[in-house]
Chain A
Amino acid sequence: MTNMQDVKEFVTEYIQREYTVPEDKDIMILNYIEEGYIDSMGFIQFISTIEDEFGIEFEVEDIENPDMRIVGKLIEIIKDKLNA
């Protein structure tokens, strides 16, 4: 059983691989694509890495869902998949 804290840690660490999000910013509402933490070309790599890490699979409609680009909402989507 994957701990939800692990999901949050994995996602927030991945997003900050190259740049640390400033402390005064609420990372949970961060749009990591718009803010350039991951670029559009790196997005598919990010998604594949999540799939491998948690043994889940995203559908095309998940990938197109704008919520996938918001840290907190992405964590919720992963959580739903894990509980499904």
Chain B
Amino acid sequence: MFYQNASDMPEKQAIWCDGKTATYKEMADLVSRYSNFLVSKGVQYGDHLAIPMNNSIESVALFFTAADLGVCLVPLNPTLPLESIKVAMQSGDMKHLIARKSFLSDCEKKGGVEVLGVTVCLDGDFEGAYSFSEVATMPTTRPACKHVNGDESLILTMTSGSTGTPKPIDISQQNKVDRSLAHIRVYGLTKEDRILAATPLYHSLAERLVILPLILGATSILLPRFTPALWLKCAAEQKPTFTIAVSAQLAQILELLKQNNTEGIDSFRSIVSSSALLEEKVKMELIDRLHCEFHEMYGTSETSTITDICFQAAPNKQKSVGYPFDEAKVRILFDDEERDCVVGEVGEIACKSKLTCKGYYKMDNMMQLAMVDGYFRTGDLGYVDEDGYLYFAGRKKELIITGAINVYPNDIDMVVRQIPEVEECAAFSYPDDRLGEVVALAIVRKDDCELTERTIKTYCARNLADFQQPHKVFFVDALPKNAMGKLMRNSILEQIRLSGLD
């Protein structure tokens, strides 16, 4: 589809990122050169390729190169600590590594990572790695790829790439295309659209938002890094017409718009908010300044988007996260899973969708455990109303979602417990205006031990990824536990507030 677009409209702008642009012809040439480069270095059909990914035109080209060669990409968060990178690389069976020089040099300093295949350095030269600059010397003829049939894994998304065992979500080429086509239909996207992606490319949302325009024949606008000021500048200059943003980003954008008292942006036809439901007041203020249709969606990385709602089209459903896509069905499971909840009754949200991933890579049993009669148990709580609209009511599983990134509190506990002065600790979710939630830590110090917040933060800075960093640290006498001695993580905040520590 992408190559067809390149042939039909070679001069059309395919992508903008950080001041650089590429037409469809230029993009197709880059994809082919990249493919020829990787083939010439020994990358083969079915190989897994790890990339600590930044947002760039080259990263986008790599998605299409991977599809063309039938190789599987494993985008990694470059800020992950080396130990987590190693675990992720092993669980994803990664053979090759494409990275920036700083990443390779950091790895080398800290003992290195095992790369069985090829290493490529994206910026400059690095000993033992091929230089990406060679790509420019490669032919632009598309390499023959007879094997590729669409069932190949295209992307493994690491859901918990930290000290815990990662569950790599296996998404096939066909699945990625189907997900894009469903979003194109639901949001009425056309070749005329300019589609903005403003989250990191190792996040499934941005992957969707850059692949979608290029198979549609539209234009992709890729924000290199997110800050509200950069987003507004990009929106004013590049005039995007559609985006799916993380709700925490929208809240920050609104804050800045209000601070600057600027007129707002008028290029958008519609904006979709994902990750967490925005307050009605925030939505109204955003509509007032962004002058467009406003949607909310609900979904998971495993199932893709399940429901959508247009704020203006359903004025009596303001608190809902929407009505299921044609591809999806929703059930609300009662606690014992033996019956479905009745209308209005809260239970676990379970979804069945044609857009569901292949499974967790090499963890078939984990996917089976999450399924009930073909429905994926999301770990979220919710209910449906008499018209079939879904409402979100909280989370069943222990999870902190900060700026749309999932953080597993256990991963943080395991690291902080290694501090000698810590008797007990527990990470928990703390509400935050900017990011929705942030990581907080409750610490019980060992008797007669001195331990400061700074020491804990420094230790975390060295041993955890940036999104796992605790924003708040509370020293407590004991952690709340039930009669069986099990930690009651959801009660920590309440306990801290009752003790007047917050």
Residue numbers of A with Cβ under 8 A of B are 13-14, 16-20, 22, 33-37, 39, 41-42, 44-45, 47-49, 51-52, 60
User: Complex: how many Å from CA A48 to CA B230?
Assistant: 27
The answer to whether A18 touches B227 (Cβ under 8 A) is no
B40 to chain A, nearest CB (A): 25
- Nearest opposing residue in chain B for A44, CB measure: B461
Residue numbers in A under 8 Å from B19 (CB-CB): 22
The answer to whether B226 touches A20 (Cβ under 8 A) is no
Query: Does B213 lie at the interface of the complex (its beta carbon under 8 Å from any beta carbon of A)?
Result: no
Choose the segment among B140-148, B298-306, B375-383, B462-470 that binds chain A (4+ C-beta atoms closer than 8 Å).
B462-470
Residue numbers in B under 8 Å from A48 (CB-CB): 458, 461-462
- Nearest opposing residue in chain A for B467, CB measure: A41
The answer to whether A45 touches B224 (Cβ under 8 A) is no
Answer whether A17 and B100 are a contact pair too, CB < 8 Å, given A36-B230, A45-B461, A48-B461: yes
Q: What are 6 inter-chain pairs, A to B, with CB distance below 8 A?
A: A17-B102, A34-B227, A36-B230, A45-B462, A45-B466, A45-B469
> 6 smallest A-B Cβ distances: which pairs?
A36-B225, A48-B461, A17-B102, A42-B466, A41-B466, A45-B461
- Nearest opposing residue in chain B for A38, CB measure: B466
User: Complex: how many Å from CA A17 to CA B124?
Assistant: 13
Residue numbers in A under 8 Å from B103 (CB-CB): 17
Residue numbers in B under 8 Å from A17 (CB-CB): 78, 100, 102-103
Compute the total of residue contacts between A and B using a CB distance below 8 Å.
57
User: Complex: how many Å from CA A20 to CA B56?
Assistant: 11
Q: What does the 1/0 interface line of B65-85 toward A look like (CB < 8 Å)?
A: 000000000000011000000
Query: Does B454 lie at the interface of the complex (its beta carbon under 8 Å from any beta carbon of A)?
Result: yes
* Interface residue from B123, B462, B469 paired with A20 (Cβ < 8 Å): B123
Q: For chain B residues 439-482, which have a beta carbon within 8 Å of chain A?
A: 454, 457-458, 460-462, 466-467, 469
* Interface residue from A20, A35, A41 paired with B227 (Cβ < 8 Å): A35
User: Complex: how many Å from CA A39 to CA B466?
Assistant: 8
Q: What does the 1/0 interface line of B227-240 toward A look like (CB < 8 Å)?
A: 10110000000000
A53 to chain B, nearest CB (A): 11
User: Complex: how many Å from CA A8 to CA B343?
Assistant: 63
- Nearest opposing residue in chain B for A20, CB measure: B123
The answer to whether A44 touches B469 (Cβ under 8 A) is yes
The answer to whether B469 touches A18 (Cβ under 8 A) is no
Residue numbers in B under 8 Å from A44 (CB-CB): 457-458, 460-461, 469
User: Complex: how many Å from CA A6 to CA B466?
Assistant: 25
* Interface residue from A36, A42, A60 paired with B454 (Cβ < 8 Å): A60
The answer to whether A18 touches B54 (Cβ under 8 A) is yes
